[in-house]
Amino acid sequence: MQTLFITATGTNVGKTFTTLQLIKAFSKRNISIGVCKPIETGVVDAPLDAQLLLKACQAVNPTFVSFNPKDITAYTFSLPAAPFSADTKQTIQIETIMNKIDELSSYCDLLIIEGAGGLMVPITRDFMMIDLAKKLDGKVLLVTPSRLGCINDTLLSIEALRSREIDFDWCVNLYEDSEDFAQATQPFYDAIFGNYWFVEEGLDNFISTLK
Q: Specify the 3-state DSSP secondary structure of 92.
A: coil
24 is catalytic: no
Count of beta carbons in the 10 Å neighbourhood of residue 65:
10
Torsion angle, CA of 44/50/52/58, rounded to 10 degrees?
A: -130
Contact 175, 181 (CB under 8 A): no
User: d(Cα 187, Cα 146) in Å, to the nearest integer?
Assistant: 13
Which residues pair with residue 143 across a beta bridge?
A: 8, 171
User: d(Cα 124, Cα 160) in Å, to the nearest integer?
Assistant: 18
- Active-site entry in 15, 24, 28, 37: 37
Altogether, the residues listed in the chain come to a count of: 211
Helices (H), 164-197: 178-184, 186-192
Q: Could you tell me the end-to-end alpha-carbon distance of the chain, in angstroms, rounded to an integer?
A: 13
Count of beta carbons in the 10 Å neighbourhood of residue 37:
30
Q: Which residues are catalytic?
A: 37
